[in-house]
Amino acid sequence: MKKTAQSILDVAGIKINGGKPYDIQVHDNGLYKRVLTQGSMGLGESYMDGSWDCDRLDEFFDKVLTTNLQDKVSSGKMILSLLKSKFFNLQNKDKSLEVGKKHYDVGNELYKKMLDKGMTYTCGYWKNVNNLDDSQEAKFELICKKIGLKKGMRVLDIGCGWGSFAKYAAEKYDANIIGITISKEQLVLGKKLCNGLPVKLRFQDYRDVEEKFDRIVSIGMFEHVGPKNHRCYMEKVSNCLKENGIFLLHTIGGNKSVQRVDPWINKYIFPNGVIPSVKQITTASEDLFVLEDWHNFGVDYDKTLMAWYRNFNKGWSFIKNNYDERFKRMWDYYLLMCVGSFRARKNQLWQIVFSKNGVPGGYVSVR
């Protein structure tokens, strides 16, 4: 099986026990059978178990994904995942709570060590900056300008995280923000961070919001909605947006329409998440909005994720008593696999601006 594995890796120029940073170092020969029979699940779990290592996982995944090696290894778990996504709504109100418990509630101290000072868990905007803190502020300023935010406007932030955008918009623009999240840990800390500001954070599903808003933003949450709910989501946004309102959708995007996420990511990182495609987004929003602007800066996620990876490893000694080594390897694997996917341009980062009825005189794009 080692020969079979090497023949597949040869396509990407990766060697088993080779000397390049992206070559894999195998510690357990059971790895080959595990990967060839279980696909991405076997690869990820065997890394967590210490069966193999790689000096530069980001470069390894860049090469794997650029050459589409993942398509050469399939497994029954992939097929089962696809069937489940077709026949069940994995993002209904009950199941949608799983990602909050599994990922976002994993510990605020971890995220404090990993993220920027404002606790922002989405892609930064690195156009004119060179550090993580500034990239996140630049991203928020970009969003505020894109939606034409003004003093006193009422804004809904769907998937508000720890309230980082809400805090920025309230402090810099004196806007009134309602933020909703399905993470209890995020809500507790977010309320503390936004204390004293015109910000209200709630534990609430987007399907239960009924008020009207001048502006709506959704920054890094749409990936959890799922194709079966895309139309419902867009209809809810439309119903909550005033007639002259603007909606900004900030989401990771994929190059093709899928119904499921990678099985390893689904099990260990983002349960029931699905990265949307251009087609899925435009189909879901058809006849509800005027699409005013579409901005792709997915290459900036490479820098953002690498900054998170460095911060996480720098801060590990302060939080390691709360986790085990297998968790550490899982988190490293998650961050660097995502780096590889953006570097290989398999994933994108889109900011899409919609208006309810078209901006009078035309929308002016902001970059």
Q: Which are the catalytic amino acids?
A: 338
- The CA distance from 94 to 79, in Å, is 24
Count Cβ atoms below 10 Å from residue 361 Cβ, excluding itself. Answer: 6
| Beta bridge pairs of residue 180 | 158, 202
**Element (DSSP H or E) covering residue 296:** strand 290-296
Amino acid at 317: S
| Beta bridge pairs of residue 249 | 218, 352
Q: Which residues 6+ apart lie within 8 Å of 202 measured at CB?
A: 178, 179, 180, 181, 187
- Rounded to 5°, angle at Cα 214 from 191 and 128: 70
- Rounded to 5°, angle at Cα 91 from 35 and 179: 120
- The CA distance from 158 to 249, in Å, is 10
- The CA distance from 265 to 322, in Å, is 22
Which sign does the torsion angle of CA 196, 199, 205, 210 carry? positive
Q: Give residue 361's region: left, alpha or beta (phi > 0; psi -120 to 50).
A: left
Take residue 294 and report the two structure tokens written for it. Answer: 């579409």
DSSP state of 71: G
Backbone angles phi, psi at 296, to 5 degrees: -110, 115
Q: Which residue has the tokens 């309320």?
A: 191
